[in-house]
Amino acid sequence: MWTELSATISSLAVAFFMFEKYLNYFPYTIRGYVERNFRKVVNFVNPYVEISFHEFTSERLKRSDAFFAIQTYLSTSTTENARRLKADAVKDSQSVVLSMDANEEVTDVFNGIKVWWASGKMPPQSKSISLFPGSEEKRYYKLTFHKHDREIITKSYVEHVLKKGKEIEVKNRQRMLYTNNPSKDWHGWKATKWGNIVFEHPSTFDTLAMDTAKKEEIKKDLIKFSKGKDYYAKIGKAWKRGYLLYGPPGTGKSSMIAAMANLLDYDVYDLELTTIKDNSELRMLLIETKGKSIIVIEDIDCSLDLTGQRKKRKEKDDDEADKEKDPISKKKKEAEEESGSKVTLSGLLNVIDGIWSACGGERIIIFTTNYVDKLDPALIRRGRMDKHIEMSYCCFEAFKVLARNYLDIESHELFGKIEELFVEAKMSPADVADSLMPKSDEQDEETCLKRLVEALEASKEEARKKSEEEALLKTKDGVVTEG
């Protein structure tokens, strides 16, 4: 069968070549007639049908999901008869997945019907000489089958392959932490917009120290969202949700994001806005993200001067005359403008809830900030950032979670004193955690708790001094105003 197929294909290739070459020698009037009839003969002789599945289709900006599903399907179902295989480690590097290397062919049988799969690469379209050969090659899979089986193959078999491939993908799924590559690396050998490593953050909602009721509310909110596919479709909203996490440093904002990803089993995309050149790059990055993911923009107030743009313009108007005259400040300004990101507030808003934001679905967008008041109200209005979560200084309840995690204790005689101190002291969970962590084998729970008591007393003292100073300033102000 195999020899027969190869012989048929090669003789057809020769016939095609000759036909294309000599077609021009036919008089123009009969050329169409000859071509039509030649194709009829070829179709009659060649009983095989071919379907190609390309990694990229020209109209689409995104990699084809079907291509990846086929790749996964072929990697498990048919690799035993391929001889050149590629290996890839998945799931905590415990197991290896094999897939077909380029130009390899394998067979598969479906309901007693034999089909052939071949993997291939298309040479680059452009004639430019690349430093990394293969950079612009486009991969594809070709499915060959007998024309008698067309109906069953195009309908049932392809569907079976895609479904199985996706199932296996879910099973082998290793969660990833992505970060965006600078756009100069988007083309060429490392042609990916997102670089990734395995996501292995140990933070969970159990280890997160915060108010229990608030924690439960956030967990329920997340679970409701992740199960809400049909509901979002019913109400006509894109299946995404925005969270704003704000609070002082070390209060667990980043830990909360990791806990969310671990709870829902989502990938995390850490978006670094400062390396993105403009709004269209931002949109391209979003299109390349997969579903079941959390897109994070940390310290949104520092990432971009989103809030200052309007103010800057006004200042510019005022100072323009002076600045333009001074050649040094003019050059400096030009350099700043060149290197700076041109992502704008409206570009960011578009990504969050414009038409493009609905591509793919099942995405959570999280902004974190230390200064919520600095943000533009348009950015954080409900609907864009659906839920605002304040991560605040440690309270006694949060301390108990940390004590359980760090020291394995539920109670201690020092707990009463610590509870009292927490009323006035302002310490971040990160600082409390640091005091509670034994620094050597000799340090027992007593030592750690005592260290915390000292830190809390110092913090209380500091808070008292600060409020006294503030009160003094107020009274002084009052005197000045009255005077």
Ligand X SMILES: Nc1ncnc2c1ncn2[C@@H]1O[C@H](COP(=O)(O)OP(=O)(O)OP(=O)(O)O)[C@@H](O)[C@H]1O
Residues that bind ligand X (CB under 6 A): 207-210, 249-255, 370, 391, 429-430, 433
Identify which of residues 73 and 266 has a Cβ nearer to ligand X in the complex: 266
Helix (H) or strand (E) run with residue 18 in it: helix 2-22
Identify which of residues 276 and 433 has a Cβ nearer to ligand X in the complex: 433
Cα 382 to Cα 361: distance, rounded to the nearest angstrom = 19
Amino acid occupying residue 233: A
Chain centroid to Cα 429, Å, comes to 28
Decide: helix, strand or coil at residue 168: helix
Identify which of residues 153 and 209 has a Cβ nearer to ligand X in the complex: 209
Identify which of residues 75 and 207 has a Cβ nearer to ligand X in the complex: 207
Q: Are 142 and 118 in contact (CB under 8 A)?
A: yes
Identify which of residues 253 and 292 has a Cβ nearer to Mg ion in the complex: 253
Cα 116 to Cα 143: distance, rounded to the nearest angstrom = 6
Locate 9 and state its tokens. 């294909």
| Number of chain residues interacting with Mg ion (CB under 5 A) | 2
Q: Interacting stretch for Mg ion, rule CB under 5 A, among 129-137, 247-255, 288-296, 369-377?
A: 247-255
* Residue 72's binding partner out of Mg ion, ligand X, none, with CB under 5 to 8 Å set by partner kind: none
* Residue 161's binding partner out of Mg ion, ligand X, none, with CB under 5 to 8 Å set by partner kind: none
Identify which of residues 100 and 364 has a Cβ nearer to ligand X in the complex: 364
User: DSSP labels for 101-141?
Assistant: PTT-EEEEEETTEEEEEEEEEEPPSS-PPPSSTTTT-EEEE
Locate 128 and state its tokens. 């430019």
**What is the closest distance, in whole angstroms, from the C-beta atom of residue 360 to Mg ion in the complex?**
26
**What is the closest distance, in whole angstroms, from the C-beta atom of residue 266 to ligand X in the complex?**
18
The DSSP secondary-structure symbol of 64 reads P
Q: Are 269 and 178 in contact (CB under 8 A)?
A: yes
**What is the closest distance, in whole angstroms, from the C-beta atom of residue 249 to Mg ion in the complex?**
7
Locate 383 and state its tokens. 């609907």
Measured at CB, which residue is nearest to Mg ion? 254
Identify which of residues 119 and 307 has a Cβ nearer to ligand X in the complex: 307
Identify which of residues 144 and 255 has a Cβ nearer to ligand X in the complex: 255
Cα 105 to Cα 142: distance, rounded to the nearest angstrom = 9
* Residue 242's binding partner out of Mg ion, ligand X, none, with CB under 5 to 8 Å set by partner kind: none
Measured at CB, which residue is nearest to ligand X? 252
Q: Interacting stretch for Mg ion, rule CB under 5 A, among 169-177, 211-219, 235-243, 253-261?
A: 253-261
**What is the closest distance, in whole angstroms, from the C-beta atom of residue 177 to Mg ion in the complex?**
14
Number of Cβ within a 10 Å radius of residue 72: 23
Kindly give the residue spans of alpha helices, DSSP state H, lying in 229-358: 229-235, 253-264, 279-287, 300-303, 309-325, 327-339, 345-353
* Residue 252's binding partner out of ligand X, Mg ion, none, with CB under 5 to 8 Å set by partner kind: ligand X
Which position among 99, 254, 262, 341 is part of the footprint of Mg ion (CB under 5 A)? Answer: 254
Beta bridge partner(s), residue 87: 98
The DSSP secondary-structure symbol of 92 reads T
Q: Interacting stretch for Mg ion, rule CB under 5 A, among 52-60, 245-253, 386-394, 411-419?
A: 245-253
* Residue 430's binding partner out of Mg ion, ligand X, none, with CB under 5 to 8 Å set by partner kind: ligand X
**What is the closest distance, in whole angstroms, from the C-beta atom of residue 256 to ligand X in the complex?**
7
* Residue 347's binding partner out of Mg ion, ligand X, none, with CB under 5 to 8 Å set by partner kind: none
Q: Which long-range contacts (CB under 8 A, 24 or more apart) does 127-134 make?
A: 130/188, 130/189, 131/188, 131/189, 132/188, 132/189, 134/189
Identify which of residues 158 and 261 has a Cβ nearer to ligand X in the complex: 261
Q: Which of 81, 9, 52 is nearest to 141 (CA)?
A: 52
**What is the closest distance, in whole angstroms, from the C-beta atom of residue 379 to ligand X in the complex?**
18
Using CB under 5 A as the binding rule, the residues of this chain from 403 to 432 that contact Mg ion are none
Q: Are 257 and 162 in contact (CB under 8 A)?
A: no
Cα 306 to Cα 207: distance, rounded to the nearest angstrom = 34
Query: Which x/- pattern, by CB under 5 A, does the window 205-244 give for Mg ion?
Result: ----------------------------------------
Which residues here bind Mg ion, judged by CB under 5 A?
253-254
